Amino acid sequence: MASPLNVDGLSKGGLKATVAQLLAEIAELKHVVTELREENARLKKLKGRPRIKPSGMEKESSAKLPSTGTSRRRRGKKKTTEVVHEEKIIKAADVPEGSHFKGYQSFVIQDLVLHPQVTRYLRERWLTPEGRTIIAPLPGGAGSHFGPDLQRFILFQYHQGQVTVPRLVEQLQAFGVEISQRQIMRILISGKRRFIEEAREVLRAGLSTAAWFSADDTGARHKGANGICTQIGNEHFAWFGTTLSKSRLNFLELLRAGHTDYVINGEALTYMRKRNLSGTVITLLAGHDDKRFADEATWTAHLEQLGVTALKITPNPVRIATEGAL
């Protein structure tokens, strides 16, 4: 065993050298201990230390700043504006006589113009000799008091930009548009049947072509009540629907993708048997001439006619039969 070092007789320079040597030995020992711990954890099949990559911010902050010398940093290719909406010619001042015109030097400025555009249509009104009033029709696309571009802006800000309705009201009123929160809600909700149909077409196409799909749901507010938002999709498509229930019956209705008919066929009867529906009810449904029903009202009337709705048995015959028919 080495004798302890006598530091009393060391000079200031010697002390510094000794401290530096000891610090280096301590760092080496720490490294050895870390490696031994990791090896021990590996032999015990324990989870090792996570390897955390350095932050990209540190890399960016340590990047060299551009030199301030005579060398100039090269720029990339300048992107030119393809569409020019307006051209203005600026005359040169104080041009001496005898100068030769050498064309123009282009300078492009991009800007965004946001201002209200209010159009008043004065529609002619005529009274015929028979007492009938004729009013000139509005041009195409002028069926609302808010133009199509304004409606597109509202839809884009709300759905794509995630701007809330109160902030949309403040924003548009700051631009000079006279609009209320109720009017914005009407633009967001009414007359959007084509979007619903498009979403249903996405779901139908996805379900008819996908080899697999997943489904999930989460809580969501709908029409002032607690509802359920269901997601159906895979890597090729995604569909969302909000309802007030998360039952099996509700999920089957969502998978119907807008179709409203109910069908009694071999698959439906097989499902009912697997769900332990009463054999008497299955016989009634299978033996009846009517096998296809246009909507829920027609299907419910059929169950009432057969006496299924009056049965008080377990499992619920109406629910199981409806699930099978869907």
Question: Is residue 275 domain-resident?
Answer: yes
Question: Is residue 281 domain-resident?
Answer: yes
- 200 shares a domain with 181: no
Among residues 187, 172, 185, 188, which one has the least CA distance to residue 114? 172
- 181 shares a domain with 158: yes
Question: Is residue 26 domain-resident?
Answer: no
CATH number of the domain encompassing residue 237: 3.30.160
- 168 shares a domain with 219: no
Of residues 194 and 236, more confidently modeled? 236
- Output the pLDDT for position 288: 93
Give dist(CA 270, CA 282) in Å, integer. Answer: 10
Question: Is residue 292 domain-resident?
Answer: yes
Q: Is the pTM of this model over 0.75?
A: no
Task: Give the residue carrying structure tokens 């009202």.
Answer: 297
**Alpha helices for 44-144 (secondary structure H):** 56-61
Question: Is residue 119 domain-resident?
Answer: no
- Number of domains making up the chain: 3
pLDDT exceeds cutoff 80 at 176: yes
- Output the pLDDT for position 130: 94
- 292 shares a domain with 240: no
**Alpha helices for 220-265 (secondary structure H):** 248-255
- The size of the chain, in residues, is 326
Residue 269's domain comprises 262-325
Beta bridge partners of 293: 262
Give me the mean pLDDT over the 65-83 stretch: 59
- 209 shares a domain with 182: no
Question: Is residue 301 domain-resident?
Answer: yes
The pair phi, psi for residue 226, each rounded to 5°, is -75, 125
Helix (H) or strand (E) segment spanning residue 238: strand 238-243
For 210-266, how does the pLDDT look when each residue is reduced to its tens digit (9 = 90+)?
Answer: 999 999 999 887 677 888 999 999 999 999 988 888 899 999 999 998 889 999 999
Question: Is residue 60 domain-resident?
Answer: no
Please answer whether residues 75 and 66 qualify as being in contact, where contact means their C-beta atoms are separated by less than 8 angstroms.
no
**pLDDT grade for 139, boundaries at 50, 70 and 90:** confident
Q: Report, in angstroms and rounded to the nearest whole number, the Rg of the chain calculated over CA atoms.
A: 38
- Output the pLDDT for position 50: 65
- Output the pLDDT for position 244: 87
- 321 shares a domain with 266: yes
For 5-37, how does the pLDDT look when each residue is reduced to its tens digit (9 = 90+)?
Answer: 676 777 878 888 888 888 889 999 998 998 888
- Output the pLDDT for position 277: 93
